[in-house]
Chains A and B, each alone.
Chain A
Amino acid sequence: MLKINNLHVMVDDKLILKGIDLEINQGEIHAIMGPNGSGKSTLAKVLAGHPKYQITEGSIEFFDGQEYINLAELEIHERAKSGIFLGFQYPTEIPGISNLGFLRESVNNVWKAQGKKLLGKDDFIDFLHPIMDILEMKELFLDRSINEGFSGGEKKKNEILQLMILDPKLAILDETDSGLDIDALKVVAEGINRFKRPFNSTILITHYQRLLDHIIPDFIHVLGDGKIIRSGTKDLALELELKGYNWTGVGK
C-alpha cells in the first residue's frame, strides 16, 4: 500500500525527517509513537502534501489500486481522490461554510474521481445518518460551519465522520485521541475499527498507549529525531508506557 524510502523532509529550512523507511501493507494498522518534536506530524503532513513540507531526499510510493505511484507528483486534492486521508490533529475551523455543503462537496469530488455514483442532497443525508449515529453526532452538526465552535471531541468526531464517508485506502490519523474524554475516545475508536477492513490501511499517530487499548495495531514504530528508532508489535506500546521514551534511546 505504502512504501517510504529514506525520506528526508525540510520545513522552513530545517531538516525534520532524516531518513524514514516504512512499508505498510493492505489491512495493516501501524501506530507511530514518539515524543514531541520527533517528526510524527511532519510525516502526516508530508503524506497529505502540505506545501510547507519539502521532500529533499527519498521517496513515497503509494499503491492506487492499479500500480505504485510517486506520491510527490500528486497535488493535494489528487492524493485525496486516489485514496489518502489525513485526520487532522487540530482540525481547521472554516466559518461561513456549512458542514453539510462541505461534506457533500468533498464526497462528490472523491467519488466522481473514483467513478462512483453521486448522491442527491436527500440521499446524501440519508447516507450520513447511520454513520453519524455510530459517532453519536447530532443532525445539528450538519448545519454548523466547518469545525467552528466545535469542542475538541466534536472536531475529532467530525474527522472520523469524514474518514468513514470517504472510505480511503490509507488513513493517516494524527493524534486523533488528543482532546477526547474517555467516552468520546471509545466512540472515535469504534469508528476507526469499523473503517478497518482487509483492503485498507491505517497510520495511527499518537503519544499515548490509551488509544491502543481500543485499536490494536499490527506494528508500532517509535520516532525519534526524525528517524524510526524502534519497531515492534503492540507490546512495544506497553513497554513505552512503563519505561518512557528515554528507554528507546530518544535524545541520546
Chain B
Amino acid sequence: MTYASSIVNYLTNEISHKEPVDNDHMHLLQLKKKLLPLFKMHSFPSNSEEFFRYSKIKESDFDHLDFNPVPVTSTSSTLLLNQFSNYFKHKIVFVDGELSQAQTMLPKGIFINKITNRDELDEAAKLLDQKSFFGLMNILHTRNIYQVTIPPDYKSSEIISTFHITTDNFKQHMSTPCVLIKALENSYANLFSLHLYLGIESHYYVTNSALYLNLKKNAVIDFSKLQMESDNSLHISTIKACLDQNAILNTQLISLGGKNSRENQHISLLDQNARANLYGLYDLKNEMQSDHYVEIVHQYEKTYSHQLFKGILKDQSHGVFTGKVSITKDAKHSVSTQLNKNIILGEKAHMTSRPQLMIDTDDVKCTHGATTGQMDAEQLFYLKTRGIDDNQAKKMLYHAFAREIIEASPCGKIRQILNDYILNNKETLSSDQSVTNRCQHGIFSFT
C-alpha cells in the first residue's frame, strides 16, 4: 500500500534522483535508496495499530513542513543554553538537526564521526530501525549518521552530553539527528541528552531523533534525557538498544516540553545478566500529549528489566504509557518489574496506561502495575496546617512525587539539573517563585 504526502515526495526526490554530493555520502545514499521502497510501502501509522493506538500524531502534522527552509531573522535567546553549557564541559552539539563541530568537545579518547565507510555502515544498519515508519523516516531524512565509540575499559563518570538545540532560524522544519553509540567491553559512560528550544515564540517544528545504543560485554551506560522542546512542536524520539552479557543500561527520560511527544524505547537483552532500568517522568499542561512506548525483549536466561514511569497531568493534557515486556522461551529465570504512577491535576486531563507482559517460559519473576489518581488530600491538608499555602504544598508534593525518578541518576550534577528544571516547570502552579528559588538553593535539594 502506498501513501503520498509531502514527506514521501520530498524524500523520493532527494534520494531517487540525486547523486552523492561527495564520497562520504555515497554509501549512505545507497542505503537510503535501498530503504526508500520500504518506506513507501508503509502507510502512516494509525490508531488501529497496537503500538500507535493512543497516539495523536497525525499525517497532517507533516503536511506543512518546509523541507528546504530559508533562514529567517532569529530572536533566539541563548540564556538557557548558556546555563546548560556551564554545566557541561564535554558536549556534542546539534543545531537544528545538524552537528556543529565548532561547539562540540569530547573527552580524550572519545570521538564522534560520520559513518561513511561501507563496512561500518553495514554494521550500523543491523541496529538501525528499518521497520517502523518513523525509524525509516529518520534514516532517509538525516544528512549523516554519526557514531560515538566508547573504548574498551573506558571508565569515567564525566558526563558526555548531547545538546539538540532548535532555534527559530527556520520555520516549520524537521530535524532528524541519528546517532549510534557503541560501548565496547568493560566500558562505562555517563550520557546526558538535552533537547532544547531557544526561540522566544513557540513555533511549530518536528524532531524525529534516533539514538542507537550497542552495549558490548560488561559495558554500562547511564543515560539521562531532558526534553524541553517548544510548546508547539512535535517530538518523536527512538532509543534502540542491544545489550550483551552483563551489560547494564539505565535510562531516565524527562519530558517537559513539546505539544506532542513520543518516546520510543526498544531494548533487547541478548545475553545472560544483561540488565535495563528505565525511568521516566512526564509533566504535561494545556493540551500536551506525551506518549512513552517501551518494548523490552528478554532473549536470554537470567536477564533483568525494571521500569518506573511517573506522570503529572494538568489542564486537558493526555499521557500515554505502554510498557511491553516479552519474556521469550529462552529467557528462563529472568526478572521484570514495571510500574506506572500518575497524578491527575486537571479535570479534563486523562491518562492511558498499558502495562503489558508476554511470558513464553516458566520460572520467571514478573510484576506490573499502574495507578492513576489525584494528589493525596490528606498530605495536602497536613502541609497546609503547618502554614504552607495551597500552591506551595502542591509544589512540594509534586517534588516528592518526581524525586524517585530524579534520584534514579547516580550523578549528582544530573540530579541537580533535573531538580532545578523540573521545579522551574512548576511556575504555572504559582506566581510565587520563592519555593522554586529555595529548592534551587538546596532546601529540598536531592544532592
Contacts and interface: CB of A to CB of B under 8 A. Distances in A.
B385 A76 contact: yes
Contact of B385 (A86, A104, A146): A86
Contacts of B400: 94-97, 145
Interface in B163-216: none
A109 B444 contact: no
Contacts of A85: 385
A51 interface: yes
Interface in B372-407: 376-379, 381-390, 392-393, 396-397, 399-401, 403-404
B387 A88 contact: no
Interface in A74-99: 75-77, 79-81, 85-86, 88, 91-92, 94-98
Contacts of B412: none
A56 to B, nearest CB: 20
Interface string A28-55: 0000000000000000000011110000
Given A76-B381, A92-B382, A96-B399, A109 B388 contact: yes
A91 B385 contact: no
Interface string A147-182: 000000000000000100010000000000000000
Nearest to A114: B387
Given A96-B403, A97-B396, A91 B384 contact: no
A106 interface: yes
Given A92-B378, A96-B403, A77 B388 contact: yes
B442 interface: yes
A229 interface: no
A219 to B, nearest CB: 24
A105 interface: yes
A224 B340 CA distance: 46
A1 interface: no
Contacts of A106: 383, 386-388
Interface string B121-134: 00000000000000
Nearest to B444: A101
A96 B401 CA distance: 7
B72 interface: no
A11 interface: no
Contacts of B435: 105
A102 B379 contact: no
A101 B441 CA distance: 11
Contacts of A145: 400
Contacts of B381: 48, 50-51, 76, 92
A92 B379 contact: yes
B443 A104 contact: yes
Contacts of A109: 386-389, 392
B164 to A, nearest CB: 30
A88 B386 contact: no
Contacts of B388: 77, 105-106, 109
A105 B442 contact: no
Nearest to B393: A77
Interface residues of A, number: 33
A145 B399 CA distance: 12
A77 B390 contact: yes
A121 interface: yes
A97 B401 CA distance: 9
Interface in A108-157: 109-110, 113, 121, 145-146
Given A50-B381, A51-B381, A113-B387, A105 B403 contact: no
Contact of B443 (A81, A101, A162): A101
Nearest to A52: B377
A98 B382 contact: no
A144 to B, nearest CB: 13
A121 B382 contact: no
A75 B389 CA distance: 9
Contacts of A50: 381
A85 B382 CA distance: 11
Contacts of A104: 443
Contact of B379 (A49, A94, A105): A94
Contacts of B385: 48-49, 76-77, 79-80, 85-86
14 contacts: A48-B381, A51-B377, A81-B387, A92-B378, A92-B379, A94-B397, A96-B401, A96-B403, A96-B404, A105-B435, A105-B443, A106-B386, A110-B387, A145-B400
Interface of A: 48-51, 75-77, 79-81, 85-86, 88, 91-92, 94-98, 101-102, 104-106, 109-110, 113, 121, 145-146, 162, 166
The 10 closest A-B pairs by CB, nearest first: A96-B400, A106-B386, A80-B387, A76-B384, A109-B387, A110-B387, A92-B382, A96-B403, A101-B444, A77-B389
